[in-house]
A = this chain, B = another copy of it.
Amino acid sequence: MKKLKNDLFIRACKREETERTPIWIMRQAGRYMPEYRAVRGKYDFLTMCKTPELATEVTLQPIDLIGVDAAIIFSDILVVPEAMGMFLEMHEGKGPIFHKPIRTEEAANDLKQIDPSKDLKYVLDAISLTKKELNNRVPLIGFSGSPWTLLTYMVEGRGSKNFSEIKKLIYNNPKLAHSLLDRISVAVADYLSAQISAGADAVQIFDTWGGILSPDDFKEFSLNYIEKVISLLKKKDEPVIVFAKGVHYAIKKLAKSGADVLGLDWTMDIGDVRKEVGKRVALQGNLDPTVLYAPQEKIKEEVKRVLKSFGKGNGHIFNLGHGVLPDIYPENVKTLVNFVKELSPAFHKSGKK
């Protein structure tokens, strides 16, 4: 494997010295970009996920056009439940829907254990192709949903306000919940390991729905399985990022999960978190995604605020605190990236020369 030309992101994940703070953006290959919408106009979402050439094309767009320091493979966290045998429909306006959610032991028994090299070959092919096209310009990130977040979707079947169905499951049949989480953990670990084998330089675990749980329930139903996934990963030294939204109460525990990097949402003070756990993990984040609605001067001010809050030194990967919203001006995303490149060297030793 050739050496990366821009390895700022990888070095920051390992808390090694960098001359500036690297930046990538959750959902950077997405609807806010006219170039993405041009492709999306011709193909539906799942076709894009399942056609390596198309997935590669949109994965590369923000590298060329926005100038981020890492690519993240274009895909969706729900390809794993689909590979386990669930019928996934991407519904325009309503979001993803599983018409037969998993709520009984019978339904759970119908799920199959996946072999990523067959069942999710299209993702691995997209990773190989993207790596080739990237030609080592920047690293490529693979990803998966956390076991808890995948189970939540599998049980709810669709977007939810109160998450009643998954809560009913964990309170009324915790045994079934744990057995499902166990199986999903193995699937996620196999899947992420296969992504690494295919060329991913780092992987991110998205725990989008951890924050709907009380602290004790989070430990029992989410954290334990994030730890299981990490412990099962077959990898060399590819960094593992855990992004658990709304889980302010478990930062210290997550820092001991085996993750190399914690992603923070915008309700956290990144400086406070660094004081608490910054000797153990790098931190990623955490600008409020809606700040990109603001005028450029305000964006600059907020970039400064996040950089200052983290403070001088290494181990910070700039990102939003959640995915970039579809109606943001691409120009503002570019502006954000440029401000990070302009302002962050002052926070690094070798950048101050």
Contacts and interface: CB of A to CB of B under 8 A. Distances in A.
Contacts of A305: 216
A294 interface: yes
Contacts of A269: 215, 249
Contacts of A216: 305
B167 A290 contact: yes
Nearest to A166: B290
A164 B266 contact: no
A171 B295 contact: yes
Nearest to A268: B249
Interface residues of A, number: 32
Interface in A97-154: none
A213 B269 CA distance: 12
Interface string A258-288: 0000000011110000000000000000001
A211 interface: yes
Contacts of A298: 171
A163 interface: yes
Given A215-B269, A327-B164, A294 B172 contact: yes
A211 B321 CA distance: 13
Contact of A171 (B171, B172, B211, B290): B290
Interface in A152-174: 162-164, 167-168, 171-172
B246 A293 contact: no
Given A163-B290, A172-B295, A290-B167, A267 B325 contact: no
A152 to B, nearest CB: 12
Contacts of A214: 266-267, 288, 321
Interface string A213-236: 111110000000000000000000
Contacts of A171: 290-291, 293-295, 298
15 contacts: A164-B290, A167-B288, A167-B290, A168-B290, A171-B291, A171-B294, A172-B293, A213-B267, A213-B288, A214-B266, A214-B288, A214-B321, A246-B246, A246-B267, A248-B249
Given A167-B293, A213-B288, A217-B288, 9 more contacts: A163-B290, A168-B293, A171-B293, A171-B294, A171-B298, A211-B267, A214-B266, A214-B267, A249-B267
